[in-house]
Amino acid sequence: MFVDASAIVAIITLEPGHESLAARLDRVAQSVTSPLAVYEAALAIARIHQRDVGDAKAKVVSFLRLSEIAIIPIDEAAAFLAIDANGRYGKGRHPARLNLGDCFAYAMAKQHDVPLLYKGDDFSQTDLA
């Protein structure tokens, strides 16, 4: 399973629905995320908690370790898939309105042929649903 930044943030900050996201995460044998998702999650948590980004980074790193979520690299193929995702589902092109981080999460899930764990309704409007 690829874990999007939105799911990381929701679980760490105990947003409504975090229980079901955590339960889905617990049911899979292997979970991965990307450096970009880690970056997005840390910045969002710093903003939400009005904390230093270093503190937010520590929370994200701790969560990833406890949840056994591996950080995998973004390669050339993922970059091209993200560009394609933007062309199909990007803001101004499609109701899903995927942003940069979303396009890379989509690409990583597609490239590794794994489900995507996320919060919101943007990805449900793509072919990953």
pLDDT tens-digit profile of 78-97?
999 999 999 999 988 898 98
Q: CATH number for the domain including 109?
A: 3.40.50.1010
Measured distance CA(31)–CA(108) in Å, rounded: 12
129 part of a folded domain: no
125 part of a folded domain: no
Q: Mind listing the pLDDT tens digit for each residue in 17-74?
A: 999 999 999 999 999 999 999 999 999 999 999 999 999 999 999 999 999 999 999 9
Neighbours of 86 (CB within 10 A): 21
Structural domain that includes position 16: 2-120
127 part of a folded domain: no
Whether 126 has a pLDDT exceeding 90, the answer reads yes
70's enclosing H/E stretch is strand 69-71
Residue 38's SS3 state is helix
Measured distance CA(63)–CA(45) in Å, rounded: 12
73 part of a folded domain: yes
- With 0.85 as the threshold, say if the pTM is over it: yes
50 part of a folded domain: yes
* CA 56 distance to own-chain centroid: 16
20 part of a folded domain: yes
Residue 46 to residues 13, 55, 129: CA-CA distances in angstroms? 11, 7, 30
Measured distance CA(127)–CA(129) in Å, rounded: 5
DSSP tag of 72: -
Number of domains present in the structure of the chain:
1
